[in-house]
Structure 1
Amino acid sequence: MIFLSSLSVAPESFCEKTSKWCLSLHNPQSHEILYKNTAQGFAMSSPFIQALRDHMRARHYSKRTEKTYIYWTIFYIRFNNLSHPNDLSSRDIVRFLEYLVVERNVTASTQKTALNALIYLHRQFLGWDEAQLQLGAFRRASKPKNSPLYCPVMKSKQYFAIYRESTCYAHT
């Protein structure tokens, strides 16, 4: 059996073949790649990740949700130095979510997706109760403020008058 503590982390690298960024974990004893994000999808021989995948499939989660939740679970485990999620606390979840906002500059929807994946991991898969998952207040990603394009009525009338004049002279 392979334990998470016996794995070493390969840095993010750009895969020329798939033109994507790849994350990988590997076992230094056997040099077996345990996880690789490729164009074909996620492949992991870790018993923990396989059990998580089986748990989601038994509950009929979509393949895309499964892939996303496993990605965020592995990212979370890597962030916490390959510690088992049962050995971590809610403070570690908050620290990870704040890291995503501050260091990785993710959007609000990305942070929510990561949060949903971690809530699923801890509540549904690991069986944590509500008391263990009290996250409290943490820094959330802000939604970008889209300022509406403001065009006063007089300016638009002037623009269309100029446009009409230029098209009228072009046809004569």
Structure 2
Amino acid sequence: MNSVAYLPQSKRLLEQVSEVLRYKHYSLKTEQAYLYWVRFFVRWHGRDGQMRHPRSMDGAEVTQFLTMLANERRVSV
């Protein structure tokens, strides 16, 4: 079951994220925070010079990212 009833019209990832968040009536500050973390996730995985779309990533990349946040950046769960 898809939790998003709205299909974004945009082709760009960050614009799609913004569209869905606005459709769900999230606050502007929340939208900005989500966009920050999406950018950070994509750039962190592209640090070797090869950017990939999050759609082409799997659970391993997410686990690596969350582990880095917990261990190196000391971000709270």
Q: Shorter chain as normaliser: what TM range? A: 0.7 to 0.9
Look up the match of 1:97: 66
Aligned letter for 1:54? E
Q: Which has the higher strand share?
A: 1
Deviations 1:111-146 (A, max 9, x none): xxxxxxxxxxxxxxxxxxxxxxxxxxxxxxxxxxxx
Aligned residue among 74, 78, 103 for 2:39: 74
For the residues of structure 1 that align with 2:56 and 2:12, how far apart are their CA atoms?
Answer: 17
Matched ranges for 1:9-158 at <5 A: 47-81=12-46, 82-108=51-77
Look up the match of 1:133: none
For the residues of structure 2 that align with 1:107 and 1:89, how far apart are their CA atoms?
Answer: 23
TM-score by length of 1: 0.35
1:93 offset after TM fit, Å?
0.5
Structure 1: runs of 5 or more not aligned: 1-45, 109-172
Give the alignment's Cα RMSD to 1 decimal.
Answer: 1.5
Q: Percent identity?
A: 30
TM-score by length of 2: 0.73
Structure 2: runs of 5 or more not aligned: 1-10
1:49 offset after TM fit, Å?
0.6
Aligned residues: 63
Runs of 4+ in 1 over 3 A off after TM superposition: none
For the residues of structure 2 that align with 1:93 and 1:63, how far apart are their CA atoms?
Answer: 25
Q: Which structure would you say has the larger Rg?
A: 1
1:60 offset after TM fit, Å?
0.7
